[in-house]
A = this chain, B = another copy of it.
Amino acid sequence: MRIGVAGLGNVAQGLLTLLEENHGQIIAQCGQPIEVAAVASRSRREVDLGGAEFSHDVAALATRNDVDVIVELMGGEGAALELVKSALNHGKSVVTANKAILAAHGDALFDLAAARGVALGIEASVAGGIPVIAALTRSLAANQIERVTGIINGTCNFILSAMSDQGAGFEDALSKAQQLGFAEADPTFDMGGIDAAHKLAILAALAFGVPFDRNAVFVEGITDVTPDDITYARELGYCIKLLGITRRTAEGIEMRVHPALVPLGAMLASVNGVMNAVQINNNATGSLLFHGPGAGGRATASSVLADLVSIARGDRPIRLANSTVTATMLPMAAVESAAYLRIPVVDQPGVFARIATILSDHGISIEGAIQRERAIADRKVPIVVVTQPVPEAVMTRAVAALQALPAVVDRVRRIRVEHAAA
Contact surface of A with B, Cβ cutoff 8 Å: 14, 18, 21-22, 25-26, 28-30, 123, 128-131, 134-135, 138-144, 265, 267, 270-271, 282-293, 298-299, 301-303, 305-306, 309-310, 313-316, 319, 321-322
This protein's copies in its complex: 2
Given A131-B140, A143-B25, A291 contacting B293 (CB threshold 8 A):
no
Q: Main secondary structure on chain A at its contact with chain B?
A: mixed
* CB neighbours of A270 from chain B (8 A): 265, 267, 270
With A14-B284, A289-B290 given, name 7 new contacts (CB 8 A). A22-B144, A25-B144, A128-B285, A138-B306, A285-B299, A286-B292, A313-B316
Nearest CB to that of A26 among chain B residues? B142
Give Cα distance in the complex from A291 to B28, angstroms: 28
Q: Which residues of B contact A131 (CB under 8 A)?
A: 134-135, 139-140, 288
A140 touches B306 (CB 8 A): yes
Residue contact B283 to A293, C-beta cutoff 8 Å: no
CB-based contact A284/B267 at 8 Å: no
What are 22 A-B interface contacts by the 8 Å CB criterion? A14-B284, A18-B283, A22-B144, A25-B143, A28-B321, A123-B139, A129-B284, A130-B285, A131-B135, A134-B139, A138-B310, A138-B315, A141-B309, A143-B302, A265-B270, A267-B270, A267-B271, A284-B302, A284-B305, A286-B293, A289-B290, A291-B291
- Name the distance in Å between A241's Cβ and chain B's nearest Cβ: 14
Q: Of B140, B315, B322, which one neighbours A315 at CB under 8 angstroms?
A: B315
A142 contacts B286, C-beta separation under 8 Å: no
Q: Which partner residue on chain B sits nearest A316 by CB separation?
A: B313
> A271 vs B289: C-alpha distance in the bound complex, in angstroms?
11
